[in-house]
A and B are shown apart, each in its own frame.
Chain A
Amino acid sequence: DAKTTQPPSMDCAEGRAANLPCNHSTISGNEYVYWYRQIHSQGPQYIIHGLKNNETNEMASLIITEDRKSSTLILPHATLRDTAVYYCIVRFDNAGNMLTFGGGTRLMVKP
């Protein structure tokens, strides 16, 4: 699986949009971009994933650049409960493939 690079930490004001970047310049054509988050002392939680097109669900939006070498996870209105470590992972979308976690971005949402 391709490696990803994320900033180690970010701050965001409560109620504002949190934009978390991820670089995956070695991504191959059939690798997906996945985002998970881990709130302190809990297991990772799936957020969203995409291949080429931008995706949106009830939790977040995922913007993937046209060359697919980077992406941004957007939390439109961050709350204190969004404080967590956010992991960007690229992987082939086939059964049986384990997830390889990098360092992630520690997002701190402040009042």
Chain B
Amino acid sequence: GAVVSQHPSWVICKSGTSVKIECRSLDFQATTMFWYRQFPKQSLMLMATSNEGSKATYEQGVEKDKFLINHASLTLSTLTVTSAHPEDSSFYICSALDRGGEQFFGPGTRLTVL
């Protein structure tokens, strides 16, 4: 089956720093990728839709200047959490859409902001 990877799998950073998370579709091309956030004991919440070569579409309440998304190629989307604060600590999950419309999820990145 299709494989989506994320890097890093976990990261700890100091408050005020920026963190970049990569999402790669390893064996297929994805014009669309999604970024989700999941707080402990809660469900996944869609943050934004990332389209290759164009600006991302953000869900209501998600600050586009704080969560920068770049989808520069058909196999890579990046999420940068700028000026991270402890309340940004969460599990960030990406998914990639294949040509058939199926979504494949990455393993997630656990961000801890001290």
Question: 1/0 contact trace for A87-104 toward B, CB 8 Å?
Answer: 100000111111111111
Stretch at the interface among B12-20, B65-73, B77-85, B95-103: B95-103
Q: Which residues of A contact B113 (CB under 8 A)?
A: none
Contacts of B34 on A, CB cut-off 8 Å?
A: 98-99
B95 contacts across to A, CB distance below 8 A: 43-44, 99
Least distance between B42 CB and chain A CB atoms (Å): 8
- B-chain residues with CB within 8 Å of residue A97 when the two chains form the complex: 101
Shortest distance from the beta carbon of A106 to any chain B beta carbon, whole Å: 9
Residues of B that sit less than 8 Å from A by CB: 4, 6, 32, 34, 36, 43-46, 49, 91, 93, 95, 97, 99-108, 110
Provide a sorted-by-A list of 26 A–B residue pairs whose CB atoms are within 8 angstroms.
A38-B44, A41-B108, A41-B110, A42-B107, A43-B93, A43-B95, A43-B106, A43-B107, A43-B108, A44-B44, A44-B93, A44-B105, A45-B105, A46-B103, A87-B43, A93-B101, A95-B32, A95-B101, A96-B101, A98-B34, A98-B49, A99-B46, A99-B95, A99-B103, A101-B43, A101-B44
* Overall SS of chain A's interface: loop
User: Residues of A contacting B43 with CB < 8 Å?
Assistant: 87, 101-104
> A-B pairs with the 5 shortest C-beta distances?
A95-B101, A43-B105, A101-B44, A101-B43, A44-B105
Q: Tell me the bound Cα distance from A97 to B101 in angstroms.
A: 8
Additional A-B contact list (14), CB under 8 Å, known A44-B93, A46-B104, A98-B34: A43-B4, A43-B95, A43-B108, A45-B105, A87-B43, A93-B101, A94-B101, A95-B97, A96-B101, A97-B101, A98-B49, A101-B36, A101-B45, A103-B43
Interface size class of A (residues with CB under 8 A): 20 to 34
The chain B residue sitting closest to A99, CB to CB, is B103
Complex CA gap A97/B95 in Å reads: 12
Residues of B within 8 A of A46 (CB): 102-104
CA distance A94 to B95 in the complex (A): 16
Contacts of B91 in A (CB 8 A): 41
Q: For residue A106, which residue of chain B has the nearest CB?
A: B41
